[in-house]
Structure 1
Amino acid sequence: MHRSVTRTGGVAAAAALLLALAPLAASADAFAPASASRTRTAHAAVDSLQRAFGAAAERYGVPADLLLAVSYLRSRWDSHGGAPSVGGGYGPMHLTDARTPWPRLAPGAGMLAQAAALTGLPEEELRTDPAANVHGGAALLAAAHRRTGGAPGAGPEHWRGALARFSGARESAAARAYADEVYAVLREGQRRTNDDGQHVVLRADRGAAPAAGAAAPTGSAECPATVSCEWIPAPYKKLDGSSDGDFGNHDLADRDRTGSVDYIVVHDTEGSWNTALRLVQRPDYVSWQYTLRSSDGHVAQHVPLKDVAWHAGNWYTNATSVGLEHEGFLTAPDAWYTEAMYRASARLTRHLAERYDIPLDRLHVIGHDNVPGGTPEAVRGMHTDPGPYWDWAHYFELLGRPFVATAGPDSAVVTVRPRYETHRPAYTGCGKQAAQPCPGHASGAVRLHTAPDAEAPLVRDAGRGRDSTIQVNDTGARASTGQSFAVAERRGDWTAIWYLGQKAWFANPAARPTAVNTRARLLTPREGRESIAVYGRAYPEESAYPADVPAQPVVPLPYRVPAGQRYVVGERTRGAYFHAKEFGKPGRVIRGEEVYYEIQYGHRIGYVKESDVRVLGG
């Protein structure tokens, strides 16, 4: 049963918050083009795409800044080399072959076919030529404006109906939220060098039309008012022919009262929106709190926040976290990890963090690939999503917590922060064969070696029992953007950190740094200890359990922290175990006296006992 694998592995609901995303302060040099992109565009002026937006806006009567904002929300102005995005979308305007929900020029015609009819340009040119693609998007947006009764020459504030229709969203709330997000982009402004090396600028317009009539949560959904959200419940019911102890697919709890939510876990679905919704509504499957749709950031909530969903593969993490599933596949980021989804997710995460007082850092906002195995046997089977292509730097910029230097060059701590667009480590395994190379792509992860040499072996993950590789799902020698580690040594262009109980080196040249110097609290084993144990769960001591609750074993993982090593400290917590046994009754939390510290141990977090360590200043 899915349930057994997952489980072993105050009612003060906060009012919906109108959380504005923090304005980005990205500079042009922070997004320099990759060498491959420079080669592709060697003969093209770096502002040709900007000029294409201006020409298309003038040709079709669309406000130029509005057109830029729509394109940014759809693609961040990227072209992806002519490859299709989710739903078969192409180019900076993300034009798709899919049928649109608004009146079409011809029965069954998709956006590309309609754009071709409106512009007279061939569909293939609309797919592969960014300038043509922009013209096609402008023509479609202008057509949507006319169909909603918009007047020619109207300013951006009068295009809300057209934007909602252009979104393609099936739900009216999602369409309105999409339009409101375009206005948010207009107010913030953006500056970026895209994947073709094109410099594109959208000036901030602080007076852009406010998001009046923002989409509100529907039904029982617990969402901020700035996202489109609906309630699609996961079933809490006994399984057919089962006993009271066998039910699905989540547990009743009272986490608002007990204050048990400490983490937000970012997942991807490894499937489509429709597949995810179908699975979460199966009582014999697992569950999570929210699913986010790739095309427009629409959100569905499935499990009340007070209850415990089965999403992390670690029972302790399930009990102390909220799970956010993002539609997509980790090996196809361009096709699925859209700006609309990033922004909706950031709004939702900000809302949850404020509700539960969760720090916005990478020890509390974690990926599924950062969740530790609960037992030694579980380590090898832990999940690897959202993967090395998820843009944590951009996500935290949207959260208003960018990763920046907070210490000098001799700092005791570094935070991983390569320039996403230019950092392109090779990976394998994106196709059917494990050794098949992945297409070159930006990444927020750095590779860790046993010596300051790119040819040196990768560090080994003892818990997995095999050598690390560059396979896209192998996290054994990987540090991800936003994760912070204690510095073990610096040597020229290389920095060593304490990682998985060993010294791990990554390239960090001053001319092209992959980390920033920061401050953080550190811990180390107490004097006299050769090494200390690392745990995957912060469970209480045996004496804390009442007679009617079986004591859970406190099992160390196959990892140690040797004397002299230091690790960055996260959550401090008393040991706790969430016990849910009887159908129809909320589970209860058993807390002990043993105190644990969360640490950034490797790519995944871990826990150590306070009685084993000495905490240093930071």
Structure 2
Amino acid sequence: MRHLSGTAALVVLAMVIPAAPGKAETRRDVPGGRQEAFARAARDYGVPENVLLAVSYLESRWDHNGGLPSVSGGYGPMHLVDARLIGARTAAAPGGHHGGGEDPRGDETRPLPRPPALPGPAAAPPEDTLRLASRLTGISPGRLRDDPAANIRGGAALLAEYRRRAGGPAGDGPAGWYGAVARYSGSDDAGAAESFAGEVYATMRTGAARTTDGGGPVVLSPDPSAVPPGPLPARLSGRLGMRRSAAASGPDCPATVSCSWLPAPYQRLGRKGRYGNHDRYPGRRRIDYIVIHDGESSYRSMVNSVRNPRYLSWHFTLRSGDGQIAQHLRARDVGWHAGNWDVNSRSIGLEHEGYLARGGAWYTEAMYRASAKLVRHLAWKYGVPLDRAHVVGHDNVPGTTRATVRGMHTDPGPYWDWERYFQLLGRPLSRAARKGGRSVLILPRYAVQPFTGCRGSGGCPPQGASTVWLRSRPAPGAPLVKDVGRHPKGRSTQSVYDHAARASAGQRYALADRRGDWTAIWYLGQKAWFHDPRGARTSERASGLLVTPRPGLSSVKLYGRAYPEPSAYPRGVRRQKLAPLQYSFRAGQRYSVGMTLRGSYLRAVTFDTAKHRMIVGGTVYHQIQFGHRFMFVRAEDVVALRS
């Protein structure tokens, strides 16, 4: 049931899909549209048009993103990088997102102190392709940022310049542009550059078509003959300023990505039994989740931090500009990343370079693709279903006790495009839709949503988001629904960091009501309404297992962990308290089930892995979609309903 066929995992690129309406355009396209801008720039600079189109698709999917920078400082359809912006970001925020109130290990039997503040590592700045393109074209940096047609010309000029550096004339067929395409990735690692180039050539072979945020269609016709010539020769990679790093040691990265092995340390810390920065597990570990994070930091800062034994750990870090992956832990080892020990003990954690809410930062197509390839591989190898109950955000992980609920983290946040991500995983979210079902699947199509609280003087610009707002009544001005855990005394807000009144793409909820253009779901113990008009639906009907309190119970307790009953613990092993959360699941309400499992607890409180114990009980739990985060109920407390 959990294994995918290779055919099912393929991603079809040659299809027309709607533009992300949330990415506001500073300047609309000129007559002829963006398609003509690509054709004109390719002709003027002697670049094959399909090469220019495919490179841009990998960088931005041909979007301008309103003149806003990506998480790696790139602008426009051609992702021209402003190195000065990268330097300013690094100086302003060298740390990661694991500070604050959340204990990333999430186990009160061995709480971690606040992670140390680690200095950002000294690093060579990336090539300032924005200003190089300005010198090559005579177009000002400001116009290259703001004008999509000018940006495309700048990208074409860069490709021609990289082709010249590689030692070949401009104007020949796609195969002769392999070195230039690899250099365009911005990577100093030959393996990462080759992976980027491989995706570009694959896009040329399959073709692609979509309506961009400029309002018009762009089409890349398939070219089956666009085959890359092979790995970059050492001579050529050296000429283009790249090195070749060692391949990852071990089987946890697929062969289709560039992955280096940068191990996290496992060592004793002093004489008080402390050790860092993860737990070893003797044998094959059960894995139920793949947890998606954004690191609130640069790639270089994250890989530097995870190699410090006094810091925290996760399994993989992904770079935005070229999709490079660093692996830090084997899948059998337990990372300290999710803030919930039960989830940590059954998950693999992926940190993505980026920022949840730094004034319009967007994630690159190159990173989405590398991440999707990695997750597809891990899901097949370790039996993780590709759905939103198992591939989750850090913001979907529940608090462990009443006291920890409020401080749980909120990444990757609403700007992570879950619908696009699952397309790349080969499991489009809409496939789960079923007519006549008693559940609804949230599918907002990455439409514009208003947010507050973004960092920077400009606030939150209009952008697409993967969420819908939930209100207490079916009316635009009605108050947002209340979350008694996150806001015990206050109200839910529209802050980008506040998920109290949001449902996310791909999440399945029990249908509660329908009135006109509004749909209600059961959410945090109440009816929650979202705008779902005919002709512009933000959800689809779905089916699947639901649960409701069994007859005779007025309410059911909810838990943040699926721990065993006290009698399951052997002598000498501290029993973990089954601490219910502050929420209430009342009679008459229904919630969707993501998985069913027996309670378990991994005891790992010593450096010696021979003393680690996995305790499995007889209590059966259902994981339910109770709010933005999932939670657990005991199966004996509920009745299962087929939807």
Same fold (TM over 0.5): yes
Matched residue, 1:165 = 183
SS of 1:395 mapped into structure 2: helix
CA distance in 1: counterparts of 2:127 and 2:463, whole angstroms: 32
CA contact (8 A) 1:521 1:616 kept: yes
1:501 offset after TM fit, Å? 1.2
- Distance change (3 Å), C-alpha of 1:156 and 1:52: same
CA contact (8 A) 2:596 2:621 kept: yes
- Distance change (3 Å), C-alpha of 1:495 and 1:605: same
Alignment equivalent of 1:590, drawn from 596, 600, 615: 615
- Distance change (3 Å), C-alpha of 1:140 and 1:546: same
1:301 offset after TM fit, Å? 0.8
Alignment equivalent of 1:430, drawn from 443, 454, 460: 454
Aligned residues: 584
Q: How does 1:23-38 map to 2 (within 5 A)?
A: 23-24=12-13, 26-28=15-17, 30-31=18-19, 33=21, 37=25
CA deviation map 1:441-491 (0-9, x unaligned) = 111100101110111111111222132111111111110000011100111
Alignment equivalent of 2:45, drawn from 50, 60, 66: 60
1:86 offset after TM fit, Å? 3.9
CA deviation map 1:556-612 (0-9, x unaligned) = 111121112111111111100011122132533110011111111110001111111
Matched residue, 1:189 = 207
CA deviation map 1:98-151 (0-9, x unaligned) = 39xxxxxxx997323332333233333323221121112112112212322335
Q: Which runs of 5+ in 1 are unaligned?
A: 1-13, 100-106
Q: How does 1:274-313 map to 2 (within 5 A)?
A: 274-313=300-339
Alignment equivalent of 1:389, drawn from 411, 415, 424: 415
Matched residue, 1:452 = 474
Q: Percent same amino acid among aligned pairs? A: 53
CA distance in 1: counterparts of 2:79 and 2:126, whole angstroms: 18
Q: How does 1:89-168 map to 2 (within 5 A)?
A: 89-98=74-83, 110-168=128-186
Matched residue, 1:253 = 281
Matched residue, 1:570 = 594
SS of 1:169 mapped into structure 2: coil
CA distance in 2: counterparts of 1:574 and 1:591, whole angstroms: 7
**CA-atom RMSD in angstroms:** 2.5
Q: Which amino acid aligns with 2:58?
A: L
Q: Is 1:601 aligned to residue 626 of structure 2?
A: yes
SS of 2:372 mapped into structure 1: helix
CA contact (8 A) 1:575 1:592 kept: yes
CA distance in 2: counterparts of 1:560 and 1:506, whole angstroms: 22
CA distance in 2: counterparts of 1:144 and 1:460, whole angstroms: 55
Matched residue, 1:104 = none
Q: Which amino acid aligns with 1:92?
A: P
SS of 1:67 mapped into structure 2: helix
CA deviation map 1:293-332 (0-9, x unaligned) = 1111101111111110000000001000000000111113
SS of 1:517 mapped into structure 2: strand
Q: Which stretch shifts more, 505-514 or 559-568?
A: 559-568
SS of 1:449 mapped into structure 2: coil
CA distance in 2: counterparts of 1:500 and 1:367, whole angstroms: 18
CA distance in 2: counterparts of 1:112 and 1:399, whole angstroms: 32
CA deviation map 1:326-367 (0-9, x unaligned) = 011111385351111111000011011001111100000000
Q: Is 1:22 aligned to residue 11 of structure 2?
A: yes
Matched residue, 1:230 = 260
Q: Which amino acid aligns with 1:23?
A: V
SS of 2:557 mapped into structure 1: strand
1:78 offset after TM fit, Å? 1.7
CA distance in 2: counterparts of 1:274 and 1:152, whole angstroms: 34
Q: Which amino acid aligns with 2:191?
A: A
1:180 offset after TM fit, Å? 0.7
Q: How does 1:416-565 map to 2 (within 5 A)?
A: 416-420=442-446, 423-431=447-455, 437-464=459-486, 465=488, 466-565=490-589
Q: How does 1:196-207 map to 2 (within 5 A)?
A: 196-207=214-225
- Distance change (3 Å), C-alpha of 1:512 and 1:279: same
CA distance in 1: counterparts of 2:492 and 2:141, whole angstroms: 45
Q: Is 1:353 aligned to residue 379 of structure 2?
A: yes
CA distance in 1: counterparts of 2:154 and 2:431, whole angstroms: 42
CA distance in 1: counterparts of 2:508 and 2:193, whole angstroms: 39
- Distance change (3 Å), C-alpha of 1:333 and 1:232: farther
CA deviation map 1:20-54 (0-9, x unaligned) = 741146434x33746964x953x844x42110111
Q: TM-score, normalised by structure 1?
A: 0.89
Q: Which amino acid aligns with 1:577?
A: Y
- Distance change (3 Å), C-alpha of 1:406 and 1:432: closer
1:205 offset after TM fit, Å? 3.1
CA deviation map 1:414-463 (0-9, x unaligned) = 1100121xx22211111369xx8521111110010111011111111122
CA distance in 2: counterparts of 1:108 and 1:544, whole angstroms: 55
Matched residue, 1:370 = 396
Matched residue, 2:271 = 242
Matched residue, 1:78 = 63
CA deviation map 1:393-421 (0-9, x unaligned) = 1000101111226556643111100121x
Q: TM-score, normalised by structure 2?
A: 0.86
SS of 2:175 mapped into structure 1: helix
CA deviation map 1:520-559 (0-9, x unaligned) = 1111111111111111000001111111211101111111
1:390 offset after TM fit, Å? 0.7
